[in-house]
Chains A and B, each alone.
Chain A
């Protein structure tokens, strides 16, 4: 078959490209957990630093040397409590945190020998072992009679809800999707959070009591901010970044061109991976961790050629070096210094993508080089960034919620321009990490408590 024919042929998108055994292997834990034999040995590598740099590098400030020492002494419950006390999503964060840019980068062993203590895996060991016990370790304070609405059931919202519930408040969490969990449930690559861990963790969080989940309730559609402010003593907005940036090039409306997060969510919810169609030749536009996640997952679903196209070089990629390595060792090609200019198709379906080479001009700005190249593509995924839904709270109540650059503006206590309304997670300006969202929720719970009890 010549290249021309290949382009004009029907798109090759098919399910069941692999055997069940291959699906199982490809979507198993990307980082296998530590065994009870390995954990104390890994733990013994921790120096128990004074003023430990790893703690400072953790947005939730987990006392890492302390929990690791407790693993070393086989005090696993104590270790888990150190973690969960600071970060109720300690189990998820152990799996999804970019530790290579946070605690493990700061680990003094990285400076010493380029090999940090396996903090992420040790955190997972402690929390996994603790969850096996099925214990609910937190107690709620005496009821305060105060009711708080949390909008968004992701890490920020649930972290806040848990913090408030512990303080004795009654919390209702409104979640637009059919399941709570946010990105942990819908957005994280499947091999990072295998089986039903995200829901089990959620069940653990809910089991403290005092939290009511209202699913399929979207702000702006089913509920309004004005209504919540009227019906509750305080509101916490944790709506995340539910919208995606549009790829503004010719042919963007062709079939087979989709936002990566939609497909990732579909994959995470798929009961049978063999039933999930995947293109033979996949092109991903973007340079962040989402681009990596979609690329690696489509490759693992059996795509033959997967190419990430990024407009700048490897250093500028939003994806961590570790994520880039995962992609490249997983057979994904990363093509740097190209940007999409046109999508071509036949019968309304994409069949190739035309890319222009890029370079930096004399003033260091990105510029098209003029010449182009074309890659065949059965599907094209865009992973060029997510944005909060534009003004999610424009409900005609008169009082405007102050926004900046599409994000809700908050002060240090995470209070918005509206009295009694707080916000955190990806809908405010910040790191856009699960662990930061959890910290926002934690901080917001304290702020709301102060607000309600002042």
Chain B
């Protein structure tokens, strides 16, 4: 069986599956249940000066009968006193010494506030701290959370204070609500952060109630923007993790991947594109802590199948293949192939290609039977038909051996910059 142990920013855990700082990790009771279920680590719900929450607090996007394809919250940080939180942190760490326990923190943006709380956290025996520079709602209006995370200079400054005042590893949690994720990450690096974790939630309005004419979730007839997460945000998170993993200026920092991770496969993708471990929240809020069993088991079985003994055997393996568009091969050609034996005749490949792409799938009737055929000369190999086809394996994209070499756009003769100057 594969070895799933991780060492993330100097913090060891039996597996790479941590629960993200959020409602599932806000007290002893939940965290103890999580550890019993098998979670490798927990980032305690953000501790700071207690707040008061409103009701309701969550909203969800349902897609084709699938609940919680996207999820949002308008909760703030912990609503419990700092001392209560830290007392429970200390207790759980003592009882579960082999699990990672990191405390998320958010205090006003001055050195004294940070210095004060760091000493108290250190006293709990926690393995590290995560700086919540990500929360996009409620706290940001108070000058904390993403209000800090959106200003690289602040990120660097607060990170540096923390590194100065504690020996605990410092993880900086990044907000995706910025233009280029590399800037706050590089600032964290300059402040000597041991790691970054990303993404925090996306600022969002999850829906509008058409009866009350107010954004969801409703709080007495009004709504506010919240933080979007869940399966729908995974592609955004993968991209940002990948951007940091390949950024030379971020080299040396650990990366904790967060964003829509629901299965071992999601986790394997995050690890492959550069994350060192992953954090989960929405999936647990949807189905409970038991999901970690399959995450561990599934990842381990997949690694065994692939011959990976440890996570480092494949961690970051996809980073070198994550390139800019300008590095792609302009000469690569594929065309769609329809397996007529598997085709059920739904015609979606035809109508979507006909209406929205390249008119390269013909709709025929052969002896009265519907038959859809690719017109090779018209097919640009876009993949659309393969994705709309409801039958697995019915449409495949087949490489065309055109004998042409790997050529990037800069060297491509079709690039106007490469055209020979007309003789005057």
Contacts and interface: CB of A to CB of B under 8 A. Distances in A.
Interface of A: 40-41, 44, 47-53, 72, 108-109, 111-112
Contacts of B344: 108-109, 111-112
B64 interface: yes
A44 B370 contact: no
Nearest to B354: A50
A109 B390 CA distance: 9
Interface of B: 64-65, 344-348, 350-351, 363, 370, 390-391
Contacts of A44: 64-65
B64 A50 contact: no
A41 B350 CA distance: 25
A333 B344 CA distance: 36
Contacts of A41: 65
Contact of B346 (A40, A50, A72): A50
A112 B370 contact: no
B390 A50 contact: no
B370 A51 contact: yes
B304 to A, nearest CB: 31
Given A108-B344, A108-B346, A112-B391, A51 B65 contact: no
Contacts of B363: 50-51
B347 to A, nearest CB: 3
Contacts of A52: 346-347
A383 to B, nearest CB: 34
Contact of A50 (B65, B348, B391): B348
A108 B346 CA distance: 6
A112 B65 CA distance: 21
Contacts of B346: 47, 49-50, 52, 108
B7 to A, nearest CB: 44
Nearest to B370: A51
A40 B65 contact: yes
From A41, A51, A109, residue with most partner B Cβ within 10 Å: A51
Given A40-B65, A53-B370, A108-B344, 15 more contacts: A41-B65, A44-B65, A47-B346, A47-B348, A47-B390, A49-B345, A49-B347, A50-B346, A50-B363, A51-B370, A52-B347, A53-B345, A72-B64, A108-B346, A111-B345
Contacts of B348: 47-50
Contacts of B345: 49, 53, 108, 111
A64 to B, nearest CB: 13
A96 to B, nearest CB: 27
B149 to A, nearest CB: 38
Shortest beta-carbon contacts, A-B, top 8: A50-B347, A50-B351, A41-B65, A108-B344, A49-B346, A44-B64, A111-B344, A108-B346
B367 to A, nearest CB: 15
Contacts of A47: 346, 348, 390
30 contacts: A40-B65, A41-B65, A44-B64, A44-B65, A47-B346, A47-B348, A47-B390, A48-B348, A49-B345, A49-B346, A49-B348, A50-B346, A50-B347, A50-B348, A50-B350, A50-B351, A50-B363, A51-B363, A51-B370, A52-B346, A52-B347, A53-B345, A53-B370, A72-B64, A108-B345, A108-B390, A109-B344, A111-B344, A111-B345, A112-B344
A77 to B, nearest CB: 16
B347 A51 contact: yes
A7 to B, nearest CB: 55
A48 B355 CA distance: 14
From B345, B346, B370, residue with most partner A Cβ within 10 Å: B346
A72 B65 CA distance: 9
Nearest to A38: B65
A121 to B, nearest CB: 16
Contacts of A51: 347, 363, 370
A54 to B, nearest CB: 11
Nearest to A46: B346
B310 to A, nearest CB: 40
A108 to B, nearest CB: 4
Nearest to B342: A112
Nearest to B345: A108
